[in-house]
Amino acid sequence: MGELKKPAFLPLQIISIVAIVLLSTAPPRCAAFNPRMLFLVKPDPIVLRDHGGALLTGNLTVNLLFYGRFAPAQRAIVADFVRSLSAAPRHPVAAPTVASWWRTTSLYRGGGARVALGRQVLDERMSLGRGPLSPGNVTALARAAGHHRGAVTAVLTAADVAVAPFCVSRCGIHGRDRGGAHGRARYTYLWAGNPARQCPGQCAWPFHQPLHGPQAPPLVPPNGDVGADGMVISLAALLAGTVTNPYGDGYYQGEDAGAGLEAATACAGIFGSGAYPGYPGKLLTDPDTGASYNAVGLGGRKYLLPALWDPTTSQCRTLV
């Protein structure tokens, strides 16, 4: 296998590990510490500044590249999520929908993107090996899967595939590169890993106890798969970041485009109203399985999706 060099043009937008929300959760040395006390001090509103760059709007195709072995059921969980982003269930449901979650991105400049599922590519033989894969390898995989304007490729790695930044500081990344005949055409991609084996306490919370911070019993994942359901949380956050800050000059907080908070990472750890460190917030519960969720997709499939920053209120918007 020839060495795939890291492209010179590889700025990355980072989605921090789910545990980023726990960075400030180390309790003071006081036996009576109560996380709910955090609400006694009203935090400053989060502001993601619009830096004026191009956003992904209009019709957007999401291609999925499954790297390594994924069970058919796992692939279906992910594919159904993507299909549900811009398509409401055929029959009315009482719960919020995946499409209603995605509509928050339409509140950003440009009106958002209408998403359709594109190609599903299987690389079960792991063409670049089991890893550790570098960020450059991820870009190469996205490029090899095909890229064109109006599309984003999601590179999804299996539970036993190592990726250089995985679990150390990230659950996934989204980035951009240039391609085409003259290397001038910009395209976007993202990567998310299945955290079930390597770091469920970091990238599958709240379906697994967190590695650090307040400890609470894990929630039952809505599709019965800690890894796949955890990966959907990362994928959802990354897609929201991709459409609202695709090229590093869209919406983000801070001066560093590569490390600034974005649409979902600004609300890390928040899934429902009343969330606080170690508690994901008010959620819905499936009466048959006891699983926790906050959105329903096509075919009645349930998901737990992160809160998104609402530019009209400068607050984290939850579904429940």
Say if CB 224 and CB 291 are below 8 A apart: yes
Q: Is 11 left (phi over 0), alpha (psi -120 to 50) or beta?
A: beta
- CA dist., res. 234 & res. 137, Å (int): 19
Global pTM reads: 0.85
**So where are the chain's domains?**
57-317
Q: Which of 88-92, 129-133, 253-257 has the highest mean pLDDT?
A: 129-133
pLDDT in tens, 266-283: 999 999 999 998 899 999
Per-residue model confidence (pLDDT) at position 180: 62
User: Does the pLDDT of residue 185 top 70, yes or no?
Assistant: yes
| Sequence letter at residue 280 | P
